[in-house]
Structure 1
Amino acid sequence: MTHADDTIRVLIPLKVRKKNGRPKILPPADYLPSEDQTQDPHILRAIGRAWSWRRQLETGAASTIQDIAAAEKVSDRFVSRMMRFAYLSPEVLDNLVIRRVPLALSLNDLVAVADRPWAEQMDMVFELPET
């Protein structure tokens, strides 16, 4: 048995609103995410899609980029371009996805960086402080 003294109650002031028929949890109006936890959701989504598509090709769930494009209802050129995110260096991915370091360039420019050698990517993607 638990007593009233053993109970810890945590109140988190969130609002639930419907968006496109689905419930969406909203943070309190005065909530400001810390800088280290912010990241453009478009970047995270693009990286996630690229890895999903890469996995489909590697496991045989999809035979070609054209198969993925047809399933996703996008052009094969788009899939091919976005797949490059799956080949970013592990260090860049760690900084983008885990540490949430903001980019110093646009999403379109990041696609071009993925073609570069891993050793060059960090300096191109993030504005590193000069030492």
Structure 2
Amino acid sequence: MTRPAPADTVTLRVPFRLAKRGGRKEMRLPEGIAPPRRPDDALVKALARAFRWKRMLESGEFVTVVELAEREGIAPSYMTRVLRLTLLAPDIVEAILDGKQGPAVTLARLMDGFPEAWEAQRQIWGQAVREYSGLTVDPVVIHSPRIGPRKRAR
């Protein structure tokens, strides 16, 4: 086997760094380079479960959330938090399924609660979705309410 002459060699350099995320390694690209769009598997799975459970409740297969949760082998409180995902605005659900939701929209943040009104959801997460997907963003600064864990009533 012969080696190609040096004139036939092409060297391509791509700057990146490796970062650990959730127990796995992820390639981080430099600023200005769009990352590949990949849906958040946990978020997509939670959405699928939520819509499946909603369909089961609406069909009359199960009368209460408690009954369905018992059959699924999970806590009713967890099921109700996941079922809330069915209240997300359709464009936000679509962005999640396409992997365009941006780093601000995570399952943990959604499980902590969000407003039911679609316009309020778009004010909180819409700008993150537009920035991440490469759509034009209005220069309006949107102040969102604190997003974090709720305090439990005693």
Q: TM-score, normalised by structure 1?
A: 0.64
Match of residue 120 from structure 2: 120
Runs of 5+ consecutive residues of structure 2 not aligned to the other structure:
1-33, 132-136, 140-154
| Aligned partners of 2:50 and 2:82 also within 8 Å | yes
Q: CA deviation at 1:125?
A: 2.5
Q: Which amino acid aligns with 2:89?
A: S
Q: How far apart are residue 99 of structure 1 and its match?
A: 5.3
Question: C-alpha distance in 2, partners of 1:35/1:72?
Answer: 36
CA pair 124-103 structure 1, distance change in 2 beyond 3 A? farther
* Cα distance change on mapping 1:89 and 1:96 into 2, 3 Å: same
Corresponding residue for residue 70 of structure 1? 70
**Is the CA contact 2:50–2:86 (under 8 Å) kept in the aligned structure 1?**
yes
* Contact map agreement 1:54 1:83 (CA 8 A) in 2: yes
- Asked whether the 8 Å contact 1:36–1:101 carries over to 2, the reply is no
Cα deviation digits, residues 24-43 of structure 1 (max 9, x gap): xxxxxxxxxx8453021000
| Structure (1/2) with the larger helix percentage | 1
* Coordinate RMSD, CA, aligned: 2.1
Matched letter for residue 101 of structure 2: V
Q: Which digits, 9 at most, give the CA deviation of each residue in 1:39-66, with x for residues without a partner?
A: 2100000000000010011111111101
What is the aligned-residue identity percentage? Answer: 22
Q: Which residue of structure 2 aligns with residue 48 of structure 1?
A: 48
In structure 2, the partner of 1:88 is 88
Letter in 2 for 1:37: R
Distance 1:76 1:57 in 2: 13
Structure 1 segment 13-28 matched on structure 2, within 5 A: none
Q: How far 1:85 moved relative to its partner?
A: 0.5
Query: Does structure 2 conserve the Cα–Cα contact (< 8 Å) formed by 1:53 and 1:83?
Result: yes
Contact 1:39–1:102 (CA under 8 A) maintained in structure 2: no
SS in 2 for 1:37: coil
Letter in 1 for 2:67: D
Distance 1:101 1:36, change over 3 A: farther
Distance in 2, Cα, partners of 1:58 & 1:52? 10
